[in-house]
Structure 1
Amino acid sequence: MNFVGLENFAALASDPIFKQALWHTVLLTALAVSLQYLLGLGLALALKEKVPGAGIFRSLSMVTWVMPVIVMVIIFRFMVQNGFGPINILLDSLGMPTTYWFGEPGVAFPLIIVMHIWRNVPFYAISLLAAMQSIPKEQYEAARLDSAGPLQRFRHITLPQISYVSMIMIVLHVTFTFKNFDIVYLSTGGGPLGNTEVLATYVYKQAFEQYALGMGASIGVVMLILMLAFTVIYVKLEEVD
């Protein structure tokens, strides 16, 4: 082993695969977490209403979150298999082209995002629902007496009251998604043609396939710095609000 100082970081600055993996990681995190929160918030608002079967649906919805990642990946890979996957059978019946969609450069990355959303939306929904149910009903009643509509009540009562829970969930899931390895590696391995390569899979390949431990460690340090910066900035902005 040789001490190389900051040479590994300099090499990362000119590494096109690292830049591609960084972009994919940032894009995956931004899209997945944003959509998870919005869909989870909408589902929480729906579950908050006393509709028949809401309790059963609430329990069943958590299945996707507690399901092991490998089981989820197997389900998705089966669904998009060429020839016998349900999605391809449907497309074939409509006269549309079929293929193994995880092997398509333009489709594999959106499928990764869909898997993240499918897995985590129920957790967002249940957590946000719990926060909403802790809001005193008197606040909503007072707002109704002041002729506040549903949108105004949501904006001025619900959102401020769930902001702390929202902050914790967003910070945690940004961290989880940014460093996520298993969903990408088990479904595509970073392919096809590097179109789903993220920093976590690139660290693995550098450290345990290429045995470039220094390079892998350097990528890990970059990930740590980016996550620390995001967390500090986001929490400070929430404190200001």
Structure 2
Amino acid sequence: MFLKSIKLKREQIADYNAYPFSIPFIRHMDELDVDAPITFFVGENGAGKSTLLEAIADQIGFNPAGGSTQNFQAFDVHESQSSLGEYVKLSWWPKVTNGFFLRAETFYQFASHLDETDTNGYKAYGGKSLHHQSHGESFFSLFQHRFNGNAIYLLDEPEAALSPTRQLAFLTLLHDLLKEENVQFIIATHSPILLGYPGAVIYQFDEHGIEQVQYEQTEHYQITSYFLQHREKMLQELFHEDEE
């Protein structure tokens, strides 16, 4: 693997009450090992998964708004600056800058920027504008045509535009890349389907910090599994309806 670990530069943090240092995981994290082929970040919204992923992207040289190191430095949105980037240190073996950072929430702006700058017939994106494909198709075109070997890929909620069937297809794509190419993935996700990839390392973010957990220990698996097995009971509890 390429990226070995992420270390927080605590000596540079002056105020833990200021954002982003007020995020709970930052108070507890010193160094995080990410040397697995696939590492997942899971947790509730606001737990800091995306913040840490953006910081990694920033230190690699990817645009924190999404994209790579090569053609998208001019791509700019409100979220294009990492608030945590300068406070983390990455350890490599060896360092790579080839890869891609996907942010689901800024993917539309990325696609618009691509329309303005691409001069290669969208060869890395399925041969046509991402705006001329459905949301799910555009995501999958990126995964299928843009991802290759000797690279690191940071994905923030890649399931956002994918149906369950496409999520399964994405797992197959990940498996094929990992089997045939030298690649590394760090993925922030809410998908119990993606989290099921065999052998992946899963880090759970919560108010107590970051903890490595097994698939079946994730809230995503437990809630989804319980709902599928006890749908009527769970809905009655949610709606405060008594069984007759």
Larger Rg: 1 or 2?
A: 1
Q: Normalized per residue, which structure has more strand?
A: 2
Compute the TM-score of the two structures, normalised by the length of structure 2: 0.25
| Bigger share in helix | 1
